[in-house]
A and B are shown apart, each in its own frame.
Chain A
Amino acid sequence: MVNPKIFIEGVNYSYGDSQALRNITLEVPPRSVTVFFGPAGGGKSTLLRLINRLNDMVEDTRMTGRVLLDGKNIYDPGTNVASLRRRVGMVFALPLPLPGTVRENVTYGLKLAGHRNDGKTEEILERSLTRAALWDEIKDRLDSPANALSGGQQQRLCIARSLALEPEVLLLDEPTSGLDPISTRKVEGSLHELKKLYTIIIVPHSIQQAARVADQAAFVLMGDLIEYRPGTEIFTIPSDRRTEDYVTGRFG
């Protein structure tokens, strides 16, 4: 196997007294789509948010274990969390455009990083929107308010906003849960292009979506990693009884 982009090693995580993740170890290969799936409340989002340290915003949590990005532990005391989050972008369940125009939204991360607005900004704007499969639809509306776009467009705008920072990893937390089927297909479609450039980890909003997009998939149940295998196998010939029950719709 090629060097993993991300190596989660022996991670335990708890909020107060309730343990959210138990001894999770898994490797995420670069430039592919990795899926974390399982029933709600099982720890998928927690696992996802460990990778950009967004869980730091929650009080009263405990963690043991390591998360390596390109072989380096992102939980080392010296880590610059802001620059980590520029390397590991994130898209949330609901499209969350920031107040302002389409243009301002896409370039928000650059502004936060202190980049001057120069000729390159326009280039980044177009490239990010193109990669998020949105450019053709809104290239004439770059200065209209972001919240005037449709829900599906807003979510792709959020993807473009993350891409503008040229991240290496893109985390997607149920990115299509608020979208209609057509918008969902557009977002999923853009993933096939994006994985050529980025390492993508997605928490899907259905098993069907998981099966459609996964290169490899991890079944997370009640804080345990049950099995982690290529997408072509896990959804058709699961090796664990619990995975089989979940995939075939016997629970969840």
Chain B
Amino acid sequence: MDRNRVQQIGFALLTLSAIAVVAPILIVIGIILVEGARAISWEFFFSMPYDGMKQGGILPAIVGTLILTVGTAVAAIPVGVAGTIYLAEYAKDTWMTRAIRLAIVNLAGIPSIVYGLFGLGMFVLFLHMGTSILAGVLTLAIMTLPVIISTSEEALRAVPMEFRTVIASLGGTRWQAIRYIVLPEALPGIITGIILGLLRAAGETAPILFTVAAFYLPRLPQSPFDQVMALPYHLYVISTQVPGMPFSVQYGTALVLLILVLSMNVAATVLRSYFRRRRQW
């Protein structure tokens, strides 16, 4: 066959594949946008649900998801970043560190329900935290850590070794090299890792199922030992557990979750390109 012909066919196939990938996403987003928009109002965002969640808003679920996400960030970021710095910059290459790395890579791929069950056993029951924000946040943090650590370590290792050597040759300490050069250069990558991890935490249902999520709790939490409603779990509940639920409420909830996740994604992209522009090599 004529090689131009081959190229045309190949090109058409590639285009079709691209469409096949993008189209379902666009369709899903489109339907949720159109259907969900009907439910969206001030009341939907800022009021409590009533009448078995068929009426009113989803404020407690929005607040719950925000609390869980922020809590996860607070718990996971310092430990994750500090652990990554240790692993990438200080730890010697021994069977111990290799085992730790292997564990982290594998943990990143474990199904979220396993984290949920671990959280139930460890935090809710063994540590007597009960079904609470604290237990949920810790469970989500443990699920998020491997993502943060593996992406951040990649980012740290991508900073050329030579910079560390130069700093050493100028009488700088290892920590000074990290503080002045390595961390600033790796920041865009670290932020990406953090956001990816938090996005997963914000959208997951399984880890919070047994550790924090409330079926129906039309008030805002007062302490870390309260339960909260959360968007993903709420969506699951109103879609499968409550008969006669209006479609608009379901789509509206899906839309809010989608907006939350997408806006975090956008924020991550903006932050990353901001820090990348400041980089000077």
Contact = CB atoms under 8 A, between A and B. Distances in A.
Among the interface residues B92, B171, B181, B279, which one has the most CB atoms of the partner chain A within 10 A? B171
B172 A59 contact: no
The residue among B92, B185, B280 with the most chain A CB atoms within 10 A of its own CB is B280
Contacts of B127: none
A92 B171 contact: no
Interface string A70-86: 00000000000011111
Interface size band for A: 20 to 34
B92 to A, nearest CB: 6
A100 B280 contact: yes
Contacts, number: 66
A59 B93 CA distance: 9
B173 interface: yes
B162 A83 contact: no
B169 A89 contact: yes
A231 to B, nearest CB: 26
Contacts of B167: 98, 108, 112
B279 A99 contact: yes
Contacts of A99: 181, 184-185, 279-281
Contacts of A90: 169
Given A57-B165, A85-B171, A112 B281 contact: no
B176 interface: yes
A92 B173 CA distance: 18
B46 to A, nearest CB: 46
A54 B166 contact: no
B163 interface: yes
Nearest to B170: A109
Contacts of B158: none
Interface in B185-224: 185
Interface string A84-120: 1110011010101111100000001101110000000
Given A96-B162, A96-B163, A99-B184, A161 B170 contact: yes
A82 B171 contact: yes
Nearest to B177: A112
Nearest to A100: B280
A91 B210 CA distance: 59
Contacts of A199: none
A59 B169 CA distance: 17
Interface of A: 52, 54, 57, 59, 82-86, 89-90, 92, 94, 96-100, 108-109, 111-113, 145-147, 161-162, 165
Interface of B: 92-93, 162-173, 176, 180-181, 184-185, 279-281
15 contacts: A54-B168, A57-B164, A59-B92, A85-B169, A92-B166, A96-B166, A98-B166, A98-B181, A99-B185, A99-B280, A99-B281, A111-B180, A112-B176, A147-B281, A162-B169
